[in-house]
Structures are given as C-alpha cells and as structure tokens.
A and B are shown apart, each in its own frame.
Chain A
Amino acid sequence: MSNYTDKIREISERLLKQGKVDMVIGFKKGTVPMMNEPCFVKKPEDISKLVWDSHCGINLANYLTDRKEKIGVIAKGCDSRNIVTHVIENKIKREQLFIIGVPCEGMIDRRKIASMFQTGSETEILSVAEQNGKIIVRTKDGEKTSERADLLQKNCALCVHRNPVIYDELVAEPVAEQKNIDRYADIREIEAMPPDQKWQYFDDLFSACIRCYACRNACPLCYCPTCFVDESRPQWVGKSTDPIDTKTFHFLRAYHCAGRCTDCGSCERVCPVGINMRVLTRKLEKDCFESFGWEAGLSLEQRPPLDVYKTNDPEDFIK
C-alpha cells in the first residue's frame, strides 16, 4: 500500500499547486502505531505528511460537514458512500470536492493485533508493518506475524463496497469486491432470541459504555447542531451511565443513522472500550434493504429511504 502513499502525494501536490483545491484531507502518521490521524494539508510543501496504510480506518467524510472551501478528500469505499450521503443531505456540494478514490482492502483492527499477545500483559506495540499479505508486529520481546486477512476490522471483513462509488481520480486499479458475504449472520441470531434475552444481550453489550460520545463524534452522519443527548427541554435521555440511559442513547443514535449508515466502522473503531454498537446500525441497514430495497450512499440520484415512500410499502404491522 506504500505505492498508494506515493500516488496520493502526487495527486495532492498537483491539486494544491494548480490551485484546484484549498486543502487536501488525508491521513498522517499518529504518535503511536496504528493510530493514524486525519490531516489537513494546505501547502504543497506539506504533502509529505500524507500517508496511506492499513490504519486509515477513520471516516474522512466526517470532516467535510458544512465546509465552504474546495477540498481534495481521500476516500475509501465507505468514505465515498458517506460523501454521497453528505451531498444528498446538502452538507457539502459535489463541485467543492475532488475525490481521490482509494480502492480498499480493509483496515486492520488494532484490538485484534493487541490480542495476538497474552491478554492482560501490557505489551507495548512498537511497530506494525505489512508485507505480502502478512502483518508483522514488533514489541520489545520480538516479532510476531499474522495473516492480514485475519486481522481486518469486523466491518471490513463484511464489506461489499471496497471501491469508491464516486471519485475524480483513483490512486490504483479497483480491487476485487468480496463475494458471497453474509452480512447479517449475527443480526439474525439476535433477532431469533426471546425478548428478555435480547434485553440482556444489549445490557451486556453496553455495560462498559462510558457515554464519551466518541462513536457519535467520529460518525459523519452525526452532524446535528444540537444532538438529542444535549437537549434539556425536554430532556430525552439522562446524562448518566445508567443502563437505561445508555440504551436510550444508543437506540436513538442508531435510529438517526437509519438508511444513512454505510457501516464504515468508525464508531466502533474509536470506542475506547470496544463496544460493537454496529449490531444496531446493521439491523437498520438490513431492514432498510429488506423493506425498501435500499443501500446507503450508492447514488447521488436517489433520495434516502426516509425521505420518500411508496404507496405499497410494507404495513403488515399496522392494524
């Protein structure tokens, strides 16, 4: 993927020098391994900051909301779908953007890397490198190697839109899309549980949540000027970590992403306690597909599912 870095720098430099964009939004190396940071490059001399590797999992569409300048933005498959969503929700204009598309082979899950080492031991990971489909992790005690395919983020292992759906230039040839993926095996398992078991499942799932809202903040969809969690008249949800408040928060946040979520995985990636809140957003994704034939972010021409209706929409649940 280092060839991606060269190409990204080349395109970005050209765009900045030609004055086609005011800045390029991409990634730079973080201060610790696997923690690349979003990076805003405004001058051609800074383009060497830009990098690309398997730790660029944050969704850069999040940084486009209500921007006024001309922006070059680097977009994986999922980012590009969130850019589409942003455009149809009037959060950015297509003309403002130069989309540098990155055909993606999935991002690495830093928690899976950590679990290659004895749990409980505070082994500091010194570097993570990549070679021929293998990931080489170095700690002070030596090196460990693992198959890249086994270390993907959960959402990436299920991804069926790895190539950007819109772009102005691609940094490489499109990659093969994953075929025969069953995106909803775990969702169906939960659906099949009796109500009390479901309730317990979500109690357990969210028990560690500290209500830091990192998941909300990392999500490009969560751009409301005042989030419902901050509303106080009326107060829809308490600010505590009471399990009921936490569930209310997650329920409503997921619901607000209905028909919009691209399963980019940023929310789960940034959660400090590793909560898989995507079992909620993916349930909605599944229902939107089954009920309305909708997949988010695939086309600039189609209105999102809650913005339209059909006279024969399913209504067997209505008396």
Chain B
Amino acid sequence: MSANWEPKIVAFFCNWCTYGAADLAGVSRMQYPPNIRVIRIPCSGRMSPKFILSAFRNGADGVWVSGCHPGDCHYLEGNYYARRKFSLFKNLIEYMGIEPGRLHFSWISSAEATKFVEVVTGVTDAVRALGPHEKFVKTNVKVA
C-alpha cells in the first residue's frame, strides 16, 4: 500500500433522504472526507446486490448504502424491504470473507447533514483502516 493511498468508496444514496443530506452538507460548507463517489438511486429499495458486488469487482475499497429512516421512505416501505435484503447480503458477503468494515449501511434523512458528515467520516476511517480491497478484484485477466 503506497503511503498516499486513499480509499475509494462507492456510496449509493437514495434520492429523497441521504442524497439530500449530502447536498445540505455541501451547501452548508461542511467538511468531510472526499473519498466517496456518490451514485444516486431512487430508493434504498432499488438497491440490487449486483450493484454492491459490481462496485467491489471494479475495485471499490468500500461500499456504503444509505436511505431514509424506517417510516420515512418516500415510497412508504421501500427501505423496510431493503433492510431485510441488506441484512442477508451483509451476512453472506462477510461469511465469504469480505472484512466487516468494507460494507456499510445507514439511514440519514435530508435534514441530517451533521449525521451525514459523521457517518462518511466513520465509513472512510473504517475502510482506510482495512487498506485496499483486493478480494473481489480479478487480477489474472488475460486477453487471448
């Protein structure tokens, strides 16, 4: 790991809550680590396990998925369904050997810019502590 290595974290934010929180943190000129690459999704219920795996396969060091608090979903219950899928997904990927601390989930409302800054800092620290992610990245790709 080179001395100036910085983790790359793919962050999937739901349009209505966490994306708004990121926006609010930005317009409020709050400082937070610049390690996230944000992908906006309509709802945390839209998250597919394939998105998370694709991020890891394409070299993300960490993945973070964030949506509205339970009860606040713009589509009423998308995040409740998502929560069940996330819990099975996280358990399974860690069961296969991805370190706890690479994959994060949170609920952040569009008013919670402060929580947003806290969580992005925590996520970045956790991923940084683990170092570069190599497990799901193909290394021996040969072109015939």
Give me the interface of A with B, judged by CB distance under 8 Å.
190-191, 195-202, 228, 234, 236, 238, 242, 244-245, 247-248, 251-252, 254-255, 258-259, 280, 283-284, 287-288, 291-292, 305-306, 309, 311, 313-315, 317-319
Question: Which residue from A197, A234, A313 sits with its C-beta under 8 Å from B87?
Answer: A313
Question: Which residue from A202, A283, A288, A311 sits with its C-beta under 8 Å from B97?
Answer: A202
Interface residues contributed by chain B, number (CB under 8 Å): 40
Question: Which residue from A191, A200, A258 sits with its C-beta under 8 Å from B88?
Answer: A258
29 contacts between A and B (CB under 8 A): A191-B95, A195-B98, A196-B97, A198-B95, A198-B96, A198-B97, A199-B97, A201-B97, A244-B57, A244-B137, A247-B136, A251-B53, A251-B93, A252-B50, A255-B89, A280-B92, A280-B95, A280-B96, A283-B95, A284-B88, A287-B92, A291-B88, A292-B84, A306-B84, A311-B70, A313-B80, A313-B83, A313-B84, A318-B83
Question: Is A319 a contact of B122 with CB atoms below 8 Å?
Answer: yes
A310 to chain B, nearest CB (A): 8
Chain A hits for B80, CB < 8 A: 309, 311, 313
Q: Given A199-B96, A309-B77, A317–B87 Cβ distance below 8 Å?
A: yes
Which one of B2-10, B33-41, B103-111 is at the interface?
B103-111
6 interchain residue pairs of minimum CB distance:
A199-B97, A198-B97, A309-B80, A319-B106, A318-B105, A195-B99
Question: Is B53 a contact of A236 with CB atoms below 8 Å?
Answer: yes
Question: Which residue from B70, B84, B97, B136 sits with its C-beta under 8 Å from A248?
Answer: B136
**Cα–Cα distance between A190 and B95 once the two chains are bound (Å):** 7
**Cα–Cα distance between A292 and B54 once the two chains are bound (Å):** 27
Question: Is B92 a contact of A283 with CB atoms below 8 Å?
Answer: yes
Contact flags B37-64 to A (C-beta < 8 A → 1, else 0): 0000000000001100110010000000
Question: Is B54 a contact of A195 with CB atoms below 8 Å?
Answer: no
Chain B positions 83-139 with a Cβ under 8 Å from a chain A Cβ: 83-100, 104-107, 119, 122, 135-138
Question: Is A287 a contact of B136 with CB atoms below 8 Å?
Answer: no
A270 to chain B, nearest CB (A): 23
**Cα–Cα distance between A115 and B83 once the two chains are bound (Å):** 45
Q: Given A236-B54, A311-B80, A319-B119, A251–B92 Cβ distance below 8 Å?
A: yes
Give me the interface of B with A, judged by CB distance under 8 Å.
49-50, 53-54, 57, 70-71, 77, 80-81, 83-100, 104-107, 119, 122, 135-138, 140-141
Chain B: which residue is nearest A190 at the CB level? B95
Question: Is A287 a contact of B87 with CB atoms below 8 Å?
Answer: yes
**Cα–Cα distance between A305 and B98 once the two chains are bound (Å):** 25
Question: Is B136 a contact of A317 with CB atoms below 8 Å?
Answer: no
Chain B hits for A254, CB < 8 A: 92
Question: Which residue from A198, A244, A313 sits with its C-beta under 8 Å from B136?
Answer: A244
Question: Which residue from B50, B88, B106, B107 sits with its C-beta under 8 Å from A288?
Answer: B88
Chain A: which residue is nearest B67 at the CB level? A318
Question: Is B138 a contact of A242 with CB atoms below 8 Å?
Answer: yes
**Cα–Cα distance between A191 and B89 once the two chains are bound (Å):** 14
Chain B hits for A288, CB < 8 A: 88
Question: Is B81 a contact of A252 with CB atoms below 8 Å?
Answer: no
**Cα–Cα distance between A191 and B57 once the two chains are bound (Å):** 23
Chain A hits for B96, CB < 8 A: 198-199, 202, 247, 251, 280
Q: Specify which of B77, B91, B136, B141 lies most central, judged by the most chain A CB atoms within 10 Å of its CB.
A: B91
Chain A hits for B71, CB < 8 A: 311
Chain A hits for B100, CB < 8 A: 195
**Cα–Cα distance between A234 and B99 once the two chains are bound (Å):** 26
Chain B hits for A252, CB < 8 A: 49-50, 53
Chain A: which residue is nearest B77 at the CB level? A309
Question: Which residue from A238, A314, A318 sits with its C-beta under 8 Å from B107?
Answer: A318
Q: Specify which of A200, A234, A236, A254 lies most central, judged by the most chain B CB atoms within 10 Å of its CB.
A: A236
Question: Is A305 a contact of B84 with CB atoms below 8 Å?
Answer: yes
Chain A hits for B137, CB < 8 A: 244
**Cα–Cα distance between A252 and B52 once the two chains are bound (Å):** 11
Chain B: which residue is nearest A315 at the CB level? B83
Chain B hits for A191, CB < 8 A: 95
Chain B hits for A284, CB < 8 A: 88, 92
